Structure 1
Amino acid sequence: MSRFARLLRRFASDESGVFAVLFGLMAIVLIALGGAVVDYVSLEQTRQRAQIAMDAAVLALQPEINLSGVSRESILERAQAMVLERIGPNVTEAMVDRIEMNPDEGRLFLGGRFTVPTAFVRLVGVNELGAAFSSEAMRGSVDLEVAVALDVTGSMSSQNIRDLKASVLDLVDTIVQDVQEPNYSKVALVPYAQAVNAGSYAEALRGPIRGPKAINSITLWAETAIRNISAVETPRNGPVTITSNGHNYRDGDWIFIWGVSGTTQLNGRAYQVTARSNNSFQLRDQRGNDYSTYRRDGKMRKCSAAGCQLQVTSNGHGYAVNDWVHITQVEGMTGVNNVTYQVTSRTANTLTLSGLPTDGVGSYRNNTGQLHCTEEGCDYFRFPNRAGGSTTFPVTTCVTERELTPYDLPPSSGYVGRSYAGSGNPCLSGSMAMVPLTANKSALSTTINALSAGGSTSGSLGILWSWYALSPNFGYVWPVESRPAPYNGEHLLKAAIIMTDGEFNTVHCRGVVARNSTSGSGGTGDQINCDAPNGNPYPQAEAYCDAMKARDVGIVVYTVGFNLTAGSSAANMLDYCASSPDNAYLASDGTQLRDAFRQIARNISALRLTR
């Protein structure tokens, strides 16, 4: 018994192995504490994702608090869907369950909570950690004036133009608020290609146009009888001989030939008859040049006047000898239409015109036709072209640049450039006319949905006219509700968005595509033989961007390049033009284009977040 007692006393006093027991107990606590750091980091990362998701949700949903039919429950439901989409995996629960709305102040508050499972602290009985998150958006206390220049040139066809429409519709929907009090938000649209269509504002911007005079009559310029040509002989350096059985022409008569195939060089010209016989004659001063094979067709008429000149009556026409005139809308004798003629003699009410119809068909129908002047300021303009000849183009409702600084002086100080354009590189259609600043989403959507692609790229002009849409100096041209506010106004943001998908290639001289335009801007016959006074496309663009970003103007510029290569001339121009590097976007597909416009809309919508 005494031995057992001694054994118990020795066991009680023995301390060997105590540290191991204590360490085992402490290890559980240390592991739990160390793991808590990992669990906390995971919680914080999830909280950050939740906060970003909530910020995005409140920004997206704030504009809807003033819409009829939008309930608190629907906003909560949509906000929760956005948060769940972005918050990430391993979330036990996420709930957006708090909302405060004040439509009068433009205020939307959203709050929520989430829980995540733990990996380590569960060892001490903590299976979940949670956190709350919230965000608030308030309508910014600034007025918004935003002009959007949209490239609708030929390269924007098919899917590109559809992507652009969707992107700009999104932008308009975000920026233009349905409630325009206490602050307004307006957008102007400036579609551009070879030029910008000013629509009903054209005359106020580029000045009045001298219109046509009515044609009262055209003296029968050729006999009624039309004779067929049965053969043409064009030996090299020999006389050109026409065969037409029983033609009844005499030496010295003037005839007009048209409709010949093969030897088409004979068409649309006047000739004098010589060396006639009953069934043939020669064309005076015309030598053969191995013309293409004649195909046994063609027609001719005997002219009433030497050289087949037209004798036109237009009471009080006001033209002088050597003036050039253009004829349209003649009925019957339609071949005289769309031809430019020179005046060779005149009286107060009559003109003799040197020039030839396109064909000799038909007889004049009384009191039809119009006689147009062809100088700058007329509704037609005859200009020396780059190919060495002359071209006549009609005036359009499009507008171009002008040689005038400061660039945004009002049109009353100097009209903007006219636009004379042919069918190969035309003015944009009326459905794509520029829209001055407006809060009318329906009007903006109508123009956006009408966009179609065609023409060359006057990118510098798009930049210039986005500025004009924001310039108070142009305000008197637009309706009262579309007039821009003065520059640098208190609580005012003016922003221009410049979008293009190609190199700038088109500038203008005297209202026509200039000869210093580059590849892609039309043929030499459609370009005037002078350089644009404001310089080549990119120097023009840089000058306009510098001026509109200047402190005394204060326009914030965003740029969007679509399918452009970084480092290309156009991409570098957009980088230069943007107010900051963060304001320049490059998009390589429709999704990126839409994202770029959405981000710009968020940036300039003047919403502010508070937490």
Structure 2
Amino acid sequence: MATAQRLIGSTFQRLRGLAARLGSDRRGNVVMMFAFAMPLLLMLTFGGIDINRITTVKARMQDALDAAALAAARSTYTEPADLKRVALVALNANLRNSDVEPLQDSDFTIALTNDQIVVADLRVRVKTLVANIVLPPYGKLLDDTVPLSAHSEVNRSSKDIEVALVLDITGSMTTAKLKSLKDAAKELVDIVVQDQQSPYYSKMSIVPYSMGVNLGSAYATTARGTPTAATSITNITWYTGSVQTVTAATKATPTAITTSANHGFAVGDKVAFWNVSGMTGLNGVVYTVGSVPSSKTFTLKNAANNTNIDSRNWSSLNTSSSTPYVAKCARTDCKPTVTSANHGLLAAGGTVYLSGIGGMTNLNSKGFQTTNLTSNTFLLETVGSQTYTGGGSAYCGHYGCQWRVFVSAAGSLQWLANSTCVSERTGAEAYSDASPTVAKVSFSYPASNNGCPASTILPLSSSKTDLKSLISSLSAGGSTAGQIGAAWGWYSVSPNFAAMWGSSAPAAYNTRKTLKAVILMTDGEFNTPYSSGVIAKDAGIGSGNDSDHINQNATNGDSFTQSERLCAAMKAQGVIVYTVGFQVASEGNAADLMKTCATSPAYAYLPTSTSDLSEAFQAIGRDITRLRISR
């Protein structure tokens, strides 16, 4: 034991001596100092490598969080769980193969504020590569992992949004095509119209169109005015003396007529027949009394009194199915004189529509040309018949009246009723969005086989229920007046129509505060221009029959040219125009119009299938609600 202690003590003394000698020896000091400093230098070098890695990961992490927040903001979700589910897809995709430790549920939070800002926070840990190496006597510079955090905010919308969805519901929209349109339109509603309407609102109008746009009675009156009302008829006269019952008529030259009583006619008198069966050639024609063989018989000549009437090839008079009548005309032309105070018909070439007349029922529900007007009377361009017993209404037949009576492109006289649809505006404001108090839009008189669509326009609304309900109710029919649809898409977002729309009034034009967009959709050629409220003679194929077209060319020209000018005008006001040509030929007028009308070629879509249509509407919706990262 004592020997061991002596050995230890001897060894300790020798080491103390060695240390003393080394301390007093100045040779090799640099090497020794470097040896002591080298661990610290290694730690700084290794730490720099990790710090550079951490900085790179931090930047990638921020980019990934921004992308995740943007993805969540573009969705329609509002609840944190839903937003998080959407955001994690983008976040994990962008953090793949990074040096970030696996995320825990608490590492990532995301929420939507009342100001419609998506706020996202991310906390991760990054494993160090070399800076955690232990270097005695200094230890290590960093921990095994380093915590990092990132924050991102995205404005779901930084502007108010007003979107007009203009939908083609014409006859070419088959059941399948219309269903595809309805589905795609409803998807668009969900994308554009947000549940939260404060501090920024998002509204949409629906403008269904075919041969026109149905405004409904209240809006139609404001937009195109009140149609001229009917005036009351107080008398209609056309014959003198008494009405005679016809009992026989010869098939001979000249034709001889027998009456049941003394007729009292004289040679040269003008007479007219009605209610004749069999020998129907007698009805509605002016005849001259040629001779009077007896008090109950007379023969017939033509109205000019120069030719006997030859009825040998006519059918025989049939008195068993109806009672025929004849009377002497008060005028040589046998025209009825109608008394209706302040009727307001045009002084020359006026037209009228009659209804509700007692006795002279053959005049009811018909249009007539008129002549020889005074302020209280007018002549009907027809041969008189029957006996007036009272009542009746006279509707003026020119533009702006309840009924439109006109010469058709087929050359016949036609009469059509006013509707709650409207046609193009004409004149100096044809291609502006001037208020209807400045310039009215035009009346529309549709034919029964090309009627005003049942679905009415829905002005700007934030109610998804109302918007989708209207879309669901759409039915197809009629021709394609796309220019009228385009106009009302614009008018529905125009501040100049604010007074008309009331609580659905659009905001003022201000592109910094409000995004206004019109989406014009069609499945074919625009073919329905107008003249004086009636489809024009030069309308395109598929716009109805010539008998329902007015014998005048379109006031504003063809529908394509009108649409192009309207699109140009609304774009000049800062309105963004998207176009969707569903299954239209890639080359042709419709496709060209879609490209011309759109704000740019990127805003024009030509989907060919149901899925393409859905994708087009979704792309438009995303573009309208495109978002920007605020911080």
Give the structure-2-normalised TM-score: 0.69
Matches within 5 A, 1:335-350: 335-343=362-370, 350=377
One-letter code aligned to 1:568: G
One-letter code aligned to 1:468: Y
How far apart are residue 245 of structure 1 and its match? 10
Between stretches 371-380 and 287-296, larger displacement belongs to 287-296
How far apart are residue 435 of structure 1 and its match? 2.1
Are 2:428 and 1:404 equivalent residues in the alignment? yes
Between stretches 149-158 and 295-304, larger displacement belongs to 295-304
Partner of 2:116: 106
Q: Distance in 2 between matches of 1:421 and 1:531?
A: 17
Q: Distance in 1 between matches of 2:277 and 2:463?
A: 54
How far apart are residue 213 of structure 1 and its match? 0.6
Partner of 1:490: 512
Q: Distance in 2 between matches of 1:389 and 1:549?
A: 42
| Distance verdict in 2 for CA 1:280–1:60, change over 3 Å | farther
Larger Rg: 2
8 Å CA contact retained: 1:194, 1:456: yes
Secondary structure of the 2:448 match is coil
One-letter code aligned to 1:428: P
8 Å CA contact retained: 1:256, 1:270: no
| Distance verdict in 2 for CA 1:324–1:82, change over 3 Å | same
How far apart are residue 324 of structure 1 and its match? 2.7
Equivalenced residues, count: 519
Partner of 2:597: 577
Secondary structure of the 2:450 match is coil
| Distance verdict in 2 for CA 1:532–1:348, change over 3 Å | closer
Secondary structure of the 1:603 match is helix
How far apart are residue 543 of structure 1 and its match? 1.6
Q: Distance in 2 between matches of 1:546 and 1:423?
A: 34
| Distance verdict in 2 for CA 1:496–1:309, change over 3 Å | same
One-letter code aligned to 2:550: I
How far apart are residue 338 of structure 1 and its match? 2.2
Match of 1:314 among 340, 363, 387: 340
8 Å CA contact retained: 2:230, 2:394: yes
Partner of 2:531: 509
Partner of 1:155: 172
8 Å CA contact retained: 1:96, 1:110: no
Are 2:454 and 1:436 equivalent residues in the alignment? no
How far apart are residue 323 of structure 1 and its match? 3.7
Partner of 2:145: none
Partner of 1:470: 493
Secondary structure of the 1:178 match is coil
Partner of 1:272: 287
Matches within 5 A, 1:204-353: 204-218=222-236, 253-257=271-275, 266=281, 269-272=284-287, 284=302, 301-304=324-327, 306=329, 309-317=335-343, 323-330=350-357, 333-343=360-370, 350-353=377-380
8 Å CA contact retained: 2:416, 2:445: yes
8 Å CA contact retained: 1:228, 1:297: no
| Distance verdict in 2 for CA 1:77–1:309, change over 3 Å | same
Secondary structure of the 1:141 match is coil
Q: Distance in 1 between matches of 2:250 and 2:183?
A: 60
Partner of 2:451: 426
Between stretches 272-281 and 164-173, larger displacement belongs to 272-281
How far apart are residue 510 of structure 1 and its match? 2.1
Q: Distance in 2 between matches of 1:345 and 1:580?
A: 58
| Distance verdict in 2 for CA 1:166–1:291, change over 3 Å | farther
Match of 2:160 among 143, 150, 153: 143
Partner of 2:480: 457
| Distance verdict in 2 for CA 1:283–1:74, change over 3 Å | farther
8 Å CA contact retained: 2:277, 2:318: no
How far apart are residue 556 of structure 1 and its match? 0.9
1:402-438: CA deviation from partner (whole Å, max 9, x where unpaired): 1324522222332222222222322223xx2222222
| Distance verdict in 2 for CA 1:279–1:164, change over 3 Å | farther
Q: What is the CA RMSD across the aligned residues, in angstroms?
A: 4.8
| Distance verdict in 2 for CA 1:341–1:531, change over 3 Å | closer
How far apart are residue 604 of structure 1 and its match? 0.5
Partner of 1:41: none
1:318-373: CA deviation from partner (whole Å, max 9, x where unpaired): 5558643210234665432222234456676555433269x97xx76643x31111
How far apart are residue 60 of structure 1 and its match? 5.8
Q: Distance in 2 between matches of 1:454 and 1:308?
A: 44
1:500-526: CA deviation from partner (whole Å, max 9, x where unpaired): 001111112222212232111122232
| Distance verdict in 2 for CA 1:339–1:281, change over 3 Å | farther
One-letter code aligned to 1:445: K
| Distance verdict in 2 for CA 1:389–1:177, change over 3 Å | same
Partner of 1:602: 622
Partner of 1:197: 214
One-letter code aligned to 2:580: V
How far apart are residue 170 of structure 1 and its match? 2.0
Secondary structure of the 1:392 match is strand
| Distance verdict in 2 for CA 1:145–1:351, change over 3 Å | same
Partner of 2:470: 447
8 Å CA contact retained: 2:244, 2:261: no
How far apart are residue 198 of structure 1 and its match? 2.3
| Distance verdict in 2 for CA 1:584–1:323, change over 3 Å | closer
Q: Distance in 1 between matches of 2:590 and 2:467?
A: 27
Partner of 1:178: 195
1:255-291: CA deviation from partner (whole Å, max 9, x where unpaired): 025777xx98x59733537679999976746678989
Secondary structure of the 2:519 match is strand
Q: Distance in 1 between matches of 2:588 and 2:105?
A: 46
Partner of 1:534: 556
Secondary structure of the 1:341 match is strand
Q: Distance in 2 between matches of 1:240 and 1:609?
A: 98
One-letter code aligned to 1:536: D
How far apart are residue 133 of structure 1 and its match? 13
Structure 2: unaligned runs, 5 residues or longer: 1-60, 93-101, 124-148, 304-308
Secondary structure of the 2:459 match is strand
Q: Distance in 1 between matches of 2:477 and 2:220?
A: 21
One-letter code aligned to 2:284: R
Q: Distance in 1 between matches of 2:482 and 2:610?
A: 21
8 Å CA contact retained: 1:560, 1:585: yes
8 Å CA contact retained: 2:72, 2:84: no
Q: Distance in 2 between matches of 1:596 and 1:228?
A: 76
How far apart are residue 466 of structure 1 and its match? 1.4
How far apart are residue 175 of structure 1 and its match? 1.3
Q: Distance in 2 between matches of 1:488 and 1:602?
A: 21
Matches within 5 A, 1:49-68: 58-59=72-73, 61=75, 63-65=76-78
Secondary structure of the 2:354 match is strand
Q: Distance in 1 between matches of 2:67 and 2:388?
A: 75
Partner of 1:33: none
8 Å CA contact retained: 2:204, 2:461: yes
Q: Distance in 2 between matches of 1:170 and 1:598?
A: 7
8 Å CA contact retained: 1:57, 1:83: no
| Distance verdict in 2 for CA 1:483–1:73, change over 3 Å | closer
Are 2:397 and 1:371 equivalent residues in the alignment? no
Secondary structure of the 2:602 match is helix
How far apart are residue 595 of structure 1 and its match? 2.2
| Distance verdict in 2 for CA 1:331–1:138, change over 3 Å | farther
Q: Distance in 1 between matches of 2:599 and 2:374?
A: 62
Structure 1: unaligned runs, 5 residues or longer: 1-46, 66-70, 85-92, 114-131
Partner of 2:20: none
8 Å CA contact retained: 1:205, 1:411: yes
Secondary structure of the 2:367 match is strand
| Distance verdict in 2 for CA 1:305–1:561, change over 3 Å | farther
